[in-house]
């Protein structure tokens, strides 16, 4: 009882010797020490079998790109990048040169255009104040620019097209230049401008809208018309090409004139037309412009040869084309443009010729109309003949299908004999 009370209040000291367990099978492990982790040692050249990577990272050159590659390894890429850089540089420089040349042209000719026309450019509003000349020109592509002018007596409107060399593509320019040396059909690349002027020719009522002030123009309809003809002053270097490419110039004859320089000639349907149109002022402007001028054409005939009666209807047009100087100095060319715009006034006032001259001019057109009519009649005759042949064949097939096999054989034999008689008769007539 006393020992029990001592155990409860802790009075007794624990025994130093362990009390033997009732299970004597594990008596040998009772005094075994607790296991401790063994540090991991990496074996040189050994695999870690997917285990944790060693803490110490060995040095290797594959972690340094400047030691792994050299510039010689990127030689092909460098050449490609260099070619791309050259192409983009040439493209940028060529585009800038074309844009600068177009700006120089419009700055030199804007005073002439704005003084002759009420509306210049594509804005569609009259010029109230002086505008920036560059806004009057519109870029259609990297080598084509255009402008438009309207609002003038005796002129409905005028289209202007500026065509420049493809400086942004030197390879294409070189190819076109090389081909022009060997083939006449390939024109050498050049900077040029073409004007196409559309006169009213008494059609103000059809063109001018019904706005306040338009009645004044309609009252002068009869005064803005002039006789139709084809007349031109062309550069002799372009004469053969123009005669081949343009139908209207193919019906004219060529004759030199003392008023013109040696490099230019007149293409006209009548000498009286030349006397009326080739004024001293025009001759002076042509001499001042020099051989940059390609042509001045006044025509009421189409550029392409007409093949239908509707295409033979006269439509009067005025054309001017000249090449741009490399120096961008247009002091000698501006007077030519000024006279070209005002030539419509001279036509209205003076281009009314004697009946004998008009009959001679009309005779050429009537001959072409007769040829077109003859070709149209032959075409219609061929169509009618083809229709008759189709009807005859349909009738023959219907008759043949209605017969039995024996009757069909006889029908075909008779048809063959008939064809043989016809062929024999033709040979007899030829003999």
- The phi and psi torsions of 405 (rounded to 5 degrees) equal -65, -40
d(CA 360, CA 229) in angstroms, rounded, equals 10
Q: So what's the pLDDT on residue 221?
A: 47
**28 band by pLDDT with thresholds 50, 70 and 90:** low
DSSP-based three-state secondary structure for 183: coil
Question: To the nearest whole number, what is the mean pLDDT of the chain?
Answer: 82
Two tokens at 216? Answer: 């004044």
d(CA 388, CA 394) in angstroms, rounded, equals 10
DSSP-based three-state secondary structure for 293: strand
CB 322 within 8 A of CB 289: yes
d(CA 184, CA 233) in angstroms, rounded, equals 22
Q: So what's the pLDDT on residue 294?
A: 94
CA angle, residues 280, 285, 290, in degrees to nearest 5: 125
Q: So what's the pLDDT on residue 53?
A: 55
Two tokens at 415? Answer: 């048809």
Q: Which of 263-272, 330-339, 375-384 is the least confident region?
A: 375-384
Q: Please tell me the pTM assigned to this model.
A: 0.73
d(CA 431, CA 125) in angstroms, rounded, equals 79
Q: Which of 87-91, 223-227, 337-341 is the least confident region?
A: 223-227
CB 27 within 8 A of CB 21: yes
d(CA 354, CA 190) in angstroms, rounded, equals 42
Per-residue pLDDT, averaged over 18-38, amounts to 55
Two tokens at 50? Answer: 């997917």
CB 166 within 8 A of CB 134: no
Percent of the chain clearing pLDDT 70 (strictly above): 80
**164 band by pLDDT with thresholds 50, 70 and 90:** very high
d(CA 426, CA 431) in angstroms, rounded, equals 9
d(CA 396, CA 416) in angstroms, rounded, equals 14
**What count of Cα atoms within 13 Å lies in the side-chain half-sphere of residue 110?**
16
pLDDT at 10 over 70: no
**401 band by pLDDT with thresholds 50, 70 and 90:** confident
Two tokens at 223? Answer: 């005064």
Per-residue pLDDT, averaged over 109-118, amounts to 90
d(CA 271, CA 255) in angstroms, rounded, equals 9
Per-residue pLDDT, averaged over 238-253, amounts to 91
Q: How far is CA 279 from the centre of its chain?
A: 38
Q: So what's the pLDDT on residue 173?
A: 86
Neighbouring residues of 339: CB distance < 8 A, sequence distance ≥ 6: 281, 282, 285
Per-residue pLDDT, averaged over 136-144, amounts to 90
- DSSP string computed for 225-267: ------EEEEEHHHHHHHHHH-HHHHTSEEE--TTS-TTEEEE
pLDDT at 260 over 60: yes
Query: 297 vs 412, which has greater pLDDT?
Result: 297
Per-residue pLDDT, averaged over 223-236, amounts to 90
Per-residue pLDDT, averaged over 123-140, amounts to 78
CB 101 within 8 A of CB 142: no
Q: Select from 321, 272, 323 the least CA-distant residue to 297.
A: 321
DSSP-based three-state secondary structure for 147: strand
- Which span out of 8-12, 49-53, 163-167, 212-216 was modeled with the highest average pLDDT? 163-167
Render pLDDT for 283-316 as a digit per residue (tens, 0 to 9).
999 999 999 999 999 999 999 888 888 888 888 9
- DSSP string computed for 82-115: HHHHHHHHHHHHHHHHHHHHHHHHHHHHHHHHHH
């Amino acid at each position: 009882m006393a020992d029990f009370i001592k155990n409860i209040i802790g009075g007794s000291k624990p025994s130093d010797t362990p009390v033997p367990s009732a299970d004597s099978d594990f008596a040998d492990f009772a005094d075994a020490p607790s296991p401790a982790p063994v540090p991991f040692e990496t074996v040189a050249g050994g695999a870690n079998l997917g285990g944790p990577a060693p803490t110490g990272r060995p040095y290797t050159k594959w972690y340094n790109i400047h030691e792994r590659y050299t510039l010689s390894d990127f030689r092909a890429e460098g050449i490609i990048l260099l070619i791309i850089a050259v192409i983009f540089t040439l493209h940028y420089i060529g585009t800038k040169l074309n844009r600068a040349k177009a700006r120089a042209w419009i700055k030199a000719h804007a005073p002439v255009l704005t003084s002759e026309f009420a509306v210049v450019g594509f804005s569609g509003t009259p010029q109230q104040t002086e505008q920036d000349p560059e806004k009057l020109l519109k870029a259609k592509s990297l080598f084509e620019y255009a402008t438009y002018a309207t609002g003038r007596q005796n002129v409905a409107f005028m289209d202007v097209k500026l065509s420049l060399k493809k400086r942004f593509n030197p390879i294409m320019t070189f190819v076109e230049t090389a081909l022009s040396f060997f083939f006449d059909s390939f024109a050498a690349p050049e900077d040029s401008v073409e004007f196409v002027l559309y006169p009213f020719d008494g059609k103000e009522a059809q063109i001018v809208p019904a706005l306040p002030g338009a009645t004044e123009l309609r009252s002068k309809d009869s005064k803005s018309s002039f006789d139709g003809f084809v007349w031109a002053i062309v550069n002799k270097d372009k004469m053969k090409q123009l005669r081949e490419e343009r139908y209207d110039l193919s019906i004219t004859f060529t004759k030199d004139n003392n008023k013109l320089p040696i490099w230019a000639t007149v293409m006209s349907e009548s000498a009286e037309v030349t006397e009326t149109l080739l004024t001293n002022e025009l001759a002076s402007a042509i001499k001042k412009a020099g051989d940059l001028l390609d042509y001045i054409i006044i025509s009421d005939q189409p550029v392409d040869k007409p093949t239908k009666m509707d295409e033979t209807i006269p439509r009067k047009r005025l054309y001017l084309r000249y090449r741009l100087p490399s120096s961008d100095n247009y002091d000698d060319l501006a007077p030519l443009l000024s006279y070209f715009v005002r030539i419509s006034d001279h036509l209205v006032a003076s281009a009314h010729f004697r009946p004998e001259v008009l009959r001679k001019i009309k005779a050429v057109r009537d001959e072409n109309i007769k040829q077109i009519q003859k070709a149209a009649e032959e075409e219609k005759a061929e169509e009618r003949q083809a229709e008759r042949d189709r009807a005859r064949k349909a009738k023959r097939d219907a008759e043949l299908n209605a017969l039995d096999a024996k009757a069909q054989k006889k029908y075909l034999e008779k048809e063959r004999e008939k064809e043989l008689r016809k062929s024999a008769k033709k040979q007899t007539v030829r003999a």
